[in-house]
Amino acid sequence: MVFAGRSRLQKENIMSRILKSVATLVGLAVALLAPVPAIAQTELSLANFIPARHPMNAKVFKPLAEELAKISADDVTIRIYPSGELGAGPKRQYNRVLTGVADIGFGLQGYTSSQFPRTLVAELPGLFSSPEAAVNTLWSKFDLIADDYSETKVLAIWANSPAVLLTRGRAINSVEDLAGLTIRAPSAVGAKVLEAWGANAVTMPAPEIYNALQTGVIDGVFIGADAVKSFRLSEVSKFAAFGLPNTVTTFFLLMNQESWDGLSAAQQTHLDGLSGAKLSKHATDVYVASGAAARKYLEGLDGYTVTDLTADERERMVAKLGDLYQAVAADLDSQGIDGQGVLNGLKAK
C-alpha cells in the first residue's frame, strides 16, 4: 500500500502530489479537446500622402478595404494611412513599397520619373482622346511598360482628369501667355511639355503646390482638375485654363513583392479579384468626376476666371511640341529601351 508505514505528514505530501498530477492531466486533456484557434488575420498597410478627404481615399481605397474584408471574411484586411502617416514626402512612396515600410503604396510615377520611363510616355499630349482611353491602353498594352514594375506587385495603374492650368497673376488664353512663367509640372515629361510651350518648369509634389503658389515661388500649376478642391488650390490661384491638348498624369497602387508572396493563395485570389484593370478604371472614373465637379466649383467662385482654349490654340500648342515625341523616344533608347516601340504602341488605336 502507498500509505503503509507512513507518517501523517508523509501521507499528506503524497496525496498532494497525486492531486497535482491529476490536475495536470485534466488540464492537458482539456487543452487537447479545446478547438484550435483560427489563424490570425493578415492586415496590410496602405500608405498615401493625400488628405483623408481626398476622393482617392474616400471613394477608392476605403471601398477597396471594405470589400476585401467582406469577401475574405476578414481573413485579409487593409488599414489605410493617409496624409503621410507612414512617412512624409510623396517622392518616397515607391521606395516605401520597395523596402516594405508599407505593404501597399499610392503615388505618381512622375515623382520618381527615372523608375518609370516607359509609363511616363503616356503623359505626352495627344496620345489619348480621354483619361478613360489612356487607362484602357495602359492595361491592354501593359507588356510595353511591365519592366517599370518588375520589383513590385501591380494592383492598379490609372490616369486622372484632363489637365488644367491654374495661375495666380494672368489668364492663359494662348501658348504665348505662358512665356516666362514658372509652372509646376507633375513629372519630367510634363516639364518638357511646359518648356516647349515657353514656360519655366519645375517638378513638385501636389502637397507642396499651395505654399509655392501662395508665396510666388511658382506662377501656376499644370495639374488634373480633380486636385483643385483636394489641395485647396482655388485659394491661391485666380485663373483656370481648360481645353488643353489631351494629356493625363499617371498614378500607381503598388504592393511590396514579399508582402504579396506572404499571402495565402486564397488571400491573393481575393485581392486580385478586386484590383487590376477593374480598380484602375474605377479610380479613373472617380478622378474624372472629381475634375468635372471642380470646374463647376471654380465657375461659381466670385472673382475667379475660368476660360477654355480654342481648338485652333490647342493645335498651335501641339505644333509647339515639335520633336518632343522623338526626343522622349530617343531618351528611352539611350537607356536600352525601345523608345519608338513604346511610343508607337501606346498611341496605337
What is the separation, in whole angstroms, between the first and last Cα of the chain? 98
The whole-model pTM stands at: 0.85
- For residue 19, the model assigns a pLDDT of 41
Is residue 55 in some structural domain?
yes
- For residue 193, the model assigns a pLDDT of 96
Domain extent at residue 287? 45-347
CATH number assigned to the domain comprising residue 71: 3.40.190.170
Is residue 25 in some structural domain?
no
Length of the chain as a residue count: 349
The CA–CA distances, whole Å, from 245 to 130, 163, 183, 248, 311 equal: 10, 9, 17, 10, 9
Q: Please tell me the distance from the alpha carbon of residue 49 to that of residue 90, in angstroms, as a whole number.
A: 6
Is residue 5 in some structural domain?
no
Is residue 156 in some structural domain?
yes
**In the structure grid, which three cell numbers stand for residue 11, read together?**
501521507
The residues, ordered by sequence, that sit 6+ positions from 137 with a Cβ below 8 Å of its Cβ are 122, 128, 346, 348
SS3 content of the chain, % helix, strand, coil (to 5): 50, 15, 30
Is residue 224 in some structural domain?
yes
Instruction: Write the single-letter amino acid at 321.
Output: L
The SS3 call for residue 61 is: helix
- For residue 63, the model assigns a pLDDT of 98
- Number of Cβ atoms within 10 Å of the Cβ of 105: 28
**In the structure grid, which three cell numbers stand for residue 189, read together?**
515629361
Q: Please tell me the distance from the alpha carbon of residue 25 to that of residue 296, in angstroms, as a whole number.
A: 75
Number of separate domains in the chain: 1
The SS3 call for residue 205 is: coil
- Number of Cβ atoms within 10 Å of the Cβ of 8: 8
- For residue 41, the model assigns a pLDDT of 85
Handedness of CA 60, 131, 184, 95 (dihedral sign): positive
**In the structure grid, which three cell numbers stand for residue 265, read together?**
493563395
- For residue 130, the model assigns a pLDDT of 93
User: Residue 109 in contact with residue 116, Cβ under 8 Å?
Assistant: yes
- For residue 5, the model assigns a pLDDT of 53
- Number of Cβ atoms within 10 Å of the Cβ of 335: 10
- For residue 349, the model assigns a pLDDT of 57
- For residue 54, the model assigns a pLDDT of 92
Would you write out the chain's pLDDT as a tens digit for each of its 349 residues? Answer: 444 554 444 444 444 455 445 444 444 444 445 454 444 489 999 999 999 989 999 999 999 999 999 999 999 999 999 999 999 889 999 999 999 999 999 999 999 999 999 999 999 998 999 999 999 999 999 999 999 999 999 999 999 999 999 999 999 999 999 999 999 999 999 999 999 999 999 999 999 999 999 999 999 999 999 999 999 999 999 999 999 998 899 999 999 999 999 999 999 999 999 999 999 999 999 999 999 999 999 999 999 999 999 999 999 999 999 899 999 999 999 999 999 999 999 986 5
Q: Please tell me the distance from the alpha carbon of residue 243 to that of residue 313, in angstroms, as a whole number.
A: 9
The CA–CA distances, whole Å, from 75 to 167, 255, 331 equal: 48, 18, 46
User: Residue 225 in contact with residue 299, Cβ under 8 Å?
Assistant: no
- For residue 16, the model assigns a pLDDT of 44
Q: Which residues pair with 106 in a beta bridge?
A: 253
Is residue 276 in some structural domain?
yes
Question: Dihedrals φ, ψ of 18, to 5°?
Answer: -60, -45
- Number of Cβ atoms within 10 Å of the Cβ of 142: 15
Is residue 151 in some structural domain?
yes
- For residue 246, the model assigns a pLDDT of 87
Q: Which of 281, 227, 266, 271 lies closest to 60 in space, CA to CA? A: 281
Is residue 295 in some structural domain?
yes
- For residue 36, the model assigns a pLDDT of 44
